[in-house]
């Protein structure tokens, strides 16, 4: 059916969502996608001024994104042919803003154009939405604009200060900076933590043919005390003095919000926030789960009825318990729902492994929320020692009725089952052991626990958590740890016959694998902002701004009043920043003198991060530089570590052709260099890599380079094999080779033609480039 024959045009955000919705609407409906946002705030206004006119009520200029011009042309044609237009973008503030931008660009009246929203992409939900349209909610649009304008102003005014005053500083953001501050504060707590240890005593007892474990509630502070206690057990009698049994229950948690889903997916599946939201978005667009950006724990009446029927049928009446959960967040909209399956009886929702794992987690958590509590019986056995006043305790737990644990949260570890014992029963000691245990410093944040902390502090909202977590890593202010920890000696004392045996074992400590660790750059920038812009990154202030966005969304606060209240004190801090002395930010630390030259060795922060410097910048001879050794810190790096770092670059040997192979460490890690060719040697050490290893890596690199080059026409014009397939490049522009074209058959003329038709490469959206006079092409812009 042609476009002109369709009376109704529905516009959604994503092509996947359009495909799913089109299945549920009649032949009278055509569904098209805007493919996300269609307009953004440009770097400069059309007249060369600022895109946000602060003095004129924060009047903002928008520009149609270049890659969306084709989409807009198609939408304009479809609008012209349609009788009725329905805007079906997502139900949150971002979705509402996209609906408003579509009205502006497609010349639709936001006061009369149909706006429909739904929490799930099912036939019933879409039919109900079409029967109950509303118009664009300008309060929600204004709240989204307030966030966008505020973040842009902070980025545009604060980031240049960071570039100018902080060595290696990249940017500062209104919400990313408090998140980095949390990571830095936790790292400082860990560094300041004073370790201590105690000895924990455990024992294994035998009664008849059964054995079980027990523990001494008391801890010993010294090895001598622990050893003395173990020695006292050799002639002791052990008697059960008390057996107590107490019933217990365990209740399920509420169904998922965006925050709790990200936390659970991180701890249970190892998913990062970005991966979780990507999988959830796909499941939503395929109609398998409800909308994934929500802070509500509410469930619809229809879904509760479906779950009641399903649980009773699958597991029996005893397993069902009707529950409603109250959302803690006062700003959460109860009309919205928690994240749940659209059909709880569907066990497999995706052929993609990651998406299916997330779906299974969501489904089980939702089902559990409407199931009976688990009934447990907890047993504690107290064991007296004839030669000591201390007692041993054995604890066990038996699940009497599994309830919701049948689908969610059951422990993978088998519970400790205790033998049937009674008071006055005598026991035989098989083994007693005192193990040195160390106090643990505060734990580093994972992506999940950082989301939880941000939510507790009121920083960010469901739509922004994943972006915050991603941004701090992309900016290089935090990274996911990879260390398994460092070895540590542990003393273990054990009873053996009539004596006590002492063994020293080794265990790993300080693992940061999968945790978010602030980089040196993150620490320097965070300290700088705390010292000079503390009101802006203060947790309470950031949370209050979030509340004000909510008030704008509810129509209780005017957008411009809120923006002005933030901007005035913020801009005063920017104006004062000119007085900040760059030399006092991230000061260098002299760690010693070079034994041969007598030159000072400094640990300092440079443009690309922490580094070592040999010699003074004021000397006639230029100083030498070396990266900070792996695992070392500016505050603690030693002279021995520094001297070893300056042994690089090291000549490992020669290639078969007689060229020098040099090993070194650069910005991106350890490498070898042969003339102009660089080869990564991760995880090998440049100090110890052998000539054989270096030659093997060099040969592999040459082979890869040869396979990468399909054709070289000279003058930089080449046909190459890339990560995403073959492409043509002239060094400035890239053109992808079509799938039906053999890259080896491309002629020089064809390559030139492909480059001529290729779009310009996008610039790096980081540090500002030097100002150039450019002639801007006319673009579709509008003031709002």
Q: Considering Cα of 687, then 693, then 699, then 700, what sign does the dihedral take? A: negative
Residue 291 designated active-site = yes
396 and 246 in contact (C-beta within 8 Å)?
Answer: no
Buried b (16+ CB within 10 A) or exposed e, 210-224: eebbbebeeebeeee
- If phi over 0 gives left and psi between -120 and 50 gives alpha, with beta otherwise, what is residue 658? left
Given the residues 291, 319, 465, 727, the one annotated as active site: 291
Q: Considering Cα of 610, then 612, then 618, then 621, what sign does the dihedral take? A: negative
| Look-up of token digits 């006319």 | 778
Tell me the C-alpha distance between 46 and 44, whole Å. Answer: 7
Strand partners, 393: 215, 382
363 and 344 in contact (C-beta within 8 Å)?
Answer: yes
537 and 513 in contact (C-beta within 8 Å)?
Answer: no
Structure tokens at 422: 């009674």
Strands (E), 497-579: 499-509, 516-518
| Look-up of token digits 């080779």 | 737
Collapsing DSSP to helix, strand or coil, 783 comes out as strand
Strands (E), 447-593: 478-480, 486-496, 499-509, 516-518, 589-593
Alpha carbon separation from 113 to 82, 88, 377, 632 (Å, rounded): 12, 11, 61, 61
Tell me the C-alpha distance between 5 and 19, whole Å. Answer: 19
Buried b (16+ CB within 10 A) or exposed e, 452-465: bbbbebbbbbbbbb
Tell me the C-alpha distance between 465 and 449, whole Å. Answer: 11
Angle at CA of residue 681, ends 679 and 685, nearest 5°: 140
Tell me the C-alpha distance between 416 and 372, whole Å. Answer: 24
Collapsing DSSP to helix, strand or coil, 717 comes out as strand
**Residues marked as catalytic:** 291
């Amino acid at each position: 059916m042609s476009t002109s024959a369709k009376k109704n045009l529905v516009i959604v955000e994503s092509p996947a969502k359009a495909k799913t919705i089109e299945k549920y609407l009649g032949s009278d409906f055509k569904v098209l996608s805007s493919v996300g946002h269609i307009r953004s705030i440009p770097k400069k206004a059309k007249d060369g001024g600022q895109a946000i006119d602060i003095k004129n009520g924060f009047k903002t200029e928008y520009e149609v994104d270049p890659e969306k011009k084709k989409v807009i042309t198609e939408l304009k044609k479809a609008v012209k042919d349609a009788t009725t237009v329905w805007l079906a973008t997502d139900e949150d503030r971002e979705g509402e803003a996209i609906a408003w931008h579509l009205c502006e660009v497609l010349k639709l009246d936001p006061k009369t154009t149909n706006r429909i929203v739904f929490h799930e992409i099912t036939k019933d939900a879409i039919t109900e939405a079409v029967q109950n349209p509303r118009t664009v909610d300008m309060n929600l649009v204004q709240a989204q604009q307030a966030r966008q304008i505020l973040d842009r102003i902070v980025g545009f005014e604060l980031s240049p200060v960071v570039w100018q005053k902080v060595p290696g500083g990249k940017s500062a953001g209104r919400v990313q900076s408090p998140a980095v501050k949390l990571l830095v504060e936790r790292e400082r707590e860990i560094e300041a933590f004073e370790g201590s240890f105690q000895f924990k005593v455990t024992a294994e007892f035998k009664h008849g043919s059964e054995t079980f474990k027990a523990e001494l509630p008391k801890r010993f502070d010294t090895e001598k005390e622990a050893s003395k206690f173990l020695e006292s057990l050799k002639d002791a009698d052990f008697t059960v003095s008390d057996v107590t049994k107490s019933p217990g229950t365990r209740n399920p948690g509420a169904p998922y919000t965006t925050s709790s889903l990200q936390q659970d997916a991180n701890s249970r599946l190892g998913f990062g926030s970005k991966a979780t939201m990507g999988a959830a978005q796909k499941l939503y667009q395929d109609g398998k789960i409800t909308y994934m950006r929500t802070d509500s724990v509410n469930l619809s009446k229809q879904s509760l009825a479906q779950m009641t029927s399903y649980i009773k049928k699958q597991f029996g009446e005893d397993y069902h318990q009707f529950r409603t959960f109250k959302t803690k967040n006062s700003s959460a909209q109860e009309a919205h729902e928690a994240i749940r399956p659209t059909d709880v009886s569907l066990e497999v929702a995706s052929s993609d492994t990651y998406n299916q794992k997330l779906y299974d987690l969501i489904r089980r958590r939702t089902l559990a929320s409407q199931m009976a509590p688990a009934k447990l019986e907890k047993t504690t056995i107290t064991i007296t020692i004839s030669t000591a006043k201390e007692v041993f305790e054995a604890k066990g737990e038996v699940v009497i009725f599994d309830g919701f644990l049948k689908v969610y949260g059951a422990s993978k570890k088998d519970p400790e089952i205790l033998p049937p014992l009674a008071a006055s029963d005598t026991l035989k000691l098989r083994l007693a052991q005192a193990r040195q245990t160390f106090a643990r410093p505060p734990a580093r944040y994972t992506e999940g626990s950082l989301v939880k902390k941000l939510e507790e502090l009121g920083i960010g909202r469901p739509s922004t958590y994943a972006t915050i977590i991603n941004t701090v890593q992309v900016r290089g202010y935090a990274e996911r740890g990879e260390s398994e920890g460092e070895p540590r000696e542990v003393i273990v004392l054990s009873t053996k016959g009539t004596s006590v045996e002492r063994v020293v074992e080794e265990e790993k400590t300080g693992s940061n694998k999968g945790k978010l660790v602030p980089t040196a750059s993150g620490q320097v920038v965070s300290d700088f902002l705390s010292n000079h812009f503390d009101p802006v990154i203060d947790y309470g202030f950031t949370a209050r701004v979030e509340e004000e966005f909510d008030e704008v969304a509810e129509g209780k606060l005017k957008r411009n009043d809120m923006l002005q209240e933030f901007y005035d004190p913020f801009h005063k801090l920017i104006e004062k920043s000119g007085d900040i002395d760059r030399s006092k930010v991230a000061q260098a630390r002299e760690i010693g003198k070079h034994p041969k030259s007598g030159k000072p060795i400094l640990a300092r922060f440079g443009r690309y991060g922490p580094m070592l410097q040999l010699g003074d910048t004021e000397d006639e001879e230029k100083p030498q530089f070396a990266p900070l050794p792996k695992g070392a810190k500016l505050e603690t790096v030693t002279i021995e570590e520094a001297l070893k770092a300056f042994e690089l670059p090291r000549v490992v040997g020669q290639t078969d052709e007689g060229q020098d192979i040099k090993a070194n460490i650069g910005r991106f890690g350890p490498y070898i260099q042969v003339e102009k060719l660089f080869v990564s040697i991760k995880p090998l050490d440049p100090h110890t890599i052998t000539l054989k290893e270096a030659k093997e890596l060099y040969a592999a690199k040459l082979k890869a380079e040869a396979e990468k080059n399909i054709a070289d026409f000279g003058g930089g014009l080449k046909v190459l094999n890339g990560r995403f397939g073959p492409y043509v490049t002239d060094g400035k522009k890239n053109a992808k080779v079509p799938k039906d074209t053999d890259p080896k058959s491309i002629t020089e003329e064809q390559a030139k033609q492909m480059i001529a038709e290729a779009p310009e490469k996008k610039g790096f959206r980081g540090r500002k480039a030097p100002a150039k006079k450019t002639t801007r092409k006319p673009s579709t812009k509008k003031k709002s």
